[in-house]
Amino acid sequence: MTVPRQALIAAAVALCTAGGAIGATLMRGPAEVRETFYLFGTLVEIEARGAPERVAREAIARVGQRLQAAHKDWHAWRPGELESLNAALAAGESRKVEAGLAALLREGRALSCASGGLFDPAIGRLIEAWGFHADVPPDGAPPPAAAIAALVARHPRMTDLTITGDEVRSDNPAVQLDLGAFAKGAALDLAAEDLRAAGVQDAVLNAGGGVKVIGRHGARPWRVAIRDPFQWGVVAAVSLRPGEALHTSGNYERYFDEGGVRFSHIIDPRSGRPMQGIVSVSVLDPSGARADAAATALAVAGPVEWPQVAAAMGVRAVLMITDDGSILATQAMHERLEPVPGGFPAPVRIVALPEATPPPACSNG
**Which residues carry a binding-site annotation for Mg(2+)?**
181, 292, 296
Inter-CA distances, 303 with 119, 122, 260, 275, Å: 16, 24, 21, 11
- Binding region for ligand ADP (CB under 6 A) out of 21-29, 120-128, 222-230, 331-339: 120-128
Least separation in angstroms between residue 236's CB and ligand ADP is 20
| Cβ neighbours of 100 (radius 10 Å) | 17
When CB distances are held under 5 to 8 angstroms depending on the partner's kind, the choice from Mg ion, ligand ADP, none that residue 209 binds is ligand ADP
- Give the Cα separation of 8 and 254 in Å (integer): 9
Inter-CA distances, 192 with 121, 196, 256, 265, Å: 23, 6, 33, 27
| Cβ neighbours of 216 (radius 10 Å) | 18
Residue 220: CB partners within 8 Å, gap ≥ 6? 19, 239
Touching ligand ADP, residues 130-159 (CB under 6 A)? 132
β-bridge mates for residue 225, sequence order: 14, 237
> Can you spell out the DSSP letters for 84-137?
HHHHHHHTT--EE--HHHHHHHHHHHHHHHHTTTSS-TTBHHHHHHTT-SSSS-
When CB distances are held under 5 to 8 angstroms depending on the partner's kind, the choice from Mg ion, ligand ADP, none that residue 180 binds is ligand ADP
Minimum CB distance to ligand ADP smaller for 123 or for 318: 123
Minimum CB distance to ligand ADP smaller for 104 or for 267: 267
Contact between 181 and ligand ADP per CB under 6 A: yes
- Binding region for Mg ion (CB under 5 A) out of 82-90, 244-252, 331-339, 347-355: 244-252
Contact between 292 and Mg ion per CB under 5 A: yes
Minimum CB distance to ligand ADP smaller for 120 or for 189: 120
Minimum CB distance to Mg ion smaller for 199 or for 302: 302
When CB distances are held under 5 to 8 angstroms depending on the partner's kind, the choice from Mg ion, ligand ADP, none that residue 229 binds is none
Which residues participate in the annotated binding site? 181, 292, 296
| Cβ neighbours of 201 (radius 10 Å) | 14
Minimum CB distance to ligand ADP smaller for 93 or for 257: 257
Contact between 273 and ligand ADP per CB under 6 A: no
Helix (H/G/I), strand (E/B), else coil: 207: strand
Touching ligand ADP, residues 244-263 (CB under 6 A)? 249, 253-254
Minimum CB distance to ligand ADP smaller for 120 or for 228: 120
Helix (H/G/I), strand (E/B), else coil: 43: strand
Contact between 104 and Mg ion per CB under 5 A: no
Closest CA to 19 of 27, 11, 31: 27
Contact set with ligand ADP (CB under 6 A): 119-121, 123, 127, 132, 178, 180-181, 184, 209, 249, 253-254, 265-267, 269, 292, 295-296, 300
Contact set with Mg ion (CB under 5 A): 181, 249, 292, 295-296
